[in-house]
Amino acid sequence: MTEWLDDVLDQHPGAPVPEGFAERVMDAVAEEQAPPKARGHLLRLASFAAAAALLLAVGFWMGHGADPMRTPTNGNVGGETAELDVTELYNNRELLEDFELLSDAELELVFQDESAGTFMLDVPLEDTTEED
Amino acid sequence: MGRVTEATEPPEQDRGVQLMLALQQGREEAFAELVEEYQSAAFSMLRRVLGPHQPVEDLAQEAFLRVWRSRESYQPRGRFTTFLYRITYNLALNQLRGNKRKPLSSMPQTADGAVLEPEDLQGAAPEAGADGRDWAGIIESALGQLPENQRAALVFQHYDGLSLAEVAQVLGTSEKAVKSLLHRARTRLRELLQPYHEAEND
């Protein structure tokens, strides 16, 4: 005598198989067995070659044909002094004022006499004067 | 429908095993026959383990593709269904674990589309005259409330007629563990389905 639970469970009909399922499985198998397409392979090879050529060209251009990445400066990089043309400073006084660069006493003295001509200043960019 | 059975026939006499061996020998038409023979079992197993609204066809197709790919290394250690279900169950597990946030089964519905709420399974009896279609939804919902390993053990044992040893092989566990899973699954299902059973018999 079977338990009632078994009889109840038997009332679940399972799942019907969709029409054409077996054919779709066989199609998938056939697709797996097909050799890789030569055309696609060649296309991939050509794309790789083109990318490699482009990289080489860019590298060559950057090494020989491009403008310098940096414009060399006249001052000493990291140096402690800069050579300044007083006339240029005077002509750009307003700009310098905007940037509040004229609080330096030495610069103020210089601008009192614009006819002084070119005057070489040693303007320390860093305060290196320290009392020992 | 299946009950607990023991594998009585040697593997070499199993139809599926014969077809796999033929496939190994290069007779590819044997695979088409294999699919025709076992597709219903695969679909039904997946449906009962996964519940509704799951990509059963995709998983069934992938299961058969994996059978195809394993044709050269296949060794008949038991019935072919055990081999097929082991592959199919692993796919189902991946699907279940990928859908952790989604409920396993949707609400069961009556024939006229009304929803049977989950609490209906635990208290109120369904309306008199529940037809077969109602029962399918009720059973699916009840199965959906079992942990996946209990559900799978019960499905393999009850619907697919696998022996304890075969269920253990599919689930990758021991026969003792399968017995425990089955006991707990059936206890829980009795609790869930008893109201419906009693209502039907009133």
DSSP, collapsed to helix, strand or coil, labels residue A84 as: strand
Q: Tell me the average pLDDT of chain B.
A: 83
Q: How many CB atoms lie within 10 A of CB B59?
A: 20
Q: What is the average per-residue pLDDT within A27-33?
A: 91
Whether A126 and A80 have beta carbons less than 8 Å apart is answered as yes
Task: Determine the Cα–Cα distance for residues A100 and A78; give it in Å rounded to an integer.
Answer: 22
Q: What is the average per-residue pLDDT within A9-31?
A: 92
Per-residue DSSP letter, A81: E
ipTM, two decimals, is: 0.78
Higher pLDDT, B196 or B10: B196
Q: Which residues of B touch A31 (CB under 8 A)?
A: none
Closest CA in chain B for residue A9: B139
The predicted model scores a pTM of: 0.63
Task: Determine the Cα–Cα distance for residues B142 and B96; give it in Å rounded to an integer.
Answer: 16
| Residue B87 banded pLDDT, cuts 50, 70, 90 | very high
Position A35 pLDDT exceeds 60: yes
Whether B157 and B49 have beta carbons less than 8 Å apart is answered as no
Task: Determine the Cα–Cα distance for residues A34 and A40; give it in Å rounded to an integer.
Answer: 13
Cβ of B197 within 8 Å of Cβ of A4? The answer is yes
What's the confidence (pLDDT) of residue A49?
A: 80
Cβ of B39 within 8 Å of Cβ of A15? The answer is no
Q: Ranked by mean pLDDT, which of A114-123, B9-18, B30-39 comes out on top? A: B30-39
Tokens of B56: 């059963």
Which region holds residue B172: left if phi is over 0, alpha if psi is between -120 and 50, else beta? left
- Residues of B numbered 38-97 whose beta carbons fall under 8 angstroms of chain A's beta carbons: which are they? 39-40, 43-44, 46-48, 56-57, 60-61, 64-65, 68-69
| Pick from B50, B79, B70: nearest CA to B160 | B79
| Pick from B134, B129, B128: nearest CA to B112 | B134
- Taking only the tens place, the pLDDT of each residue in B96-120 is 888 765 544 444 554 444 555 545 5
What's the confidence (pLDDT) of residue B64?
A: 97
Query: What separation in angstroms does the CA of A84 have from each of A97, A106, A110, A124, B87?
Result: 16, 12, 11, 11, 83
Cβ of A15 within 8 Å of Cβ of B32? The answer is no
- Taking only the tens place, the pLDDT of each residue in A42-59 is 677 777 788 888 888 888
Query: What separation in angstroms does the CA of A24 have from each of A27, B26, B187?
Result: 5, 21, 40
Q: Which residues of A touch B197 (CB under 8 A)?
A: 4, 8
Q: Which residues of A touch B136 (CB under 8 A)?
A: 11-13
Q: What is the average per-residue pLDDT within B75-80?
A: 92
- Taking only the tens place, the pLDDT of each residue in B136-183 is 889 999 999 999 999 999 999 999 999 999 999 999 999 999 999 999
How big, in percent rounded to 5, are the helix, strand and coil portions of chain B?
65, 0, 35
DSSP, collapsed to helix, strand or coil, labels residue A52 as: helix
Per-residue DSSP letter, B70: T
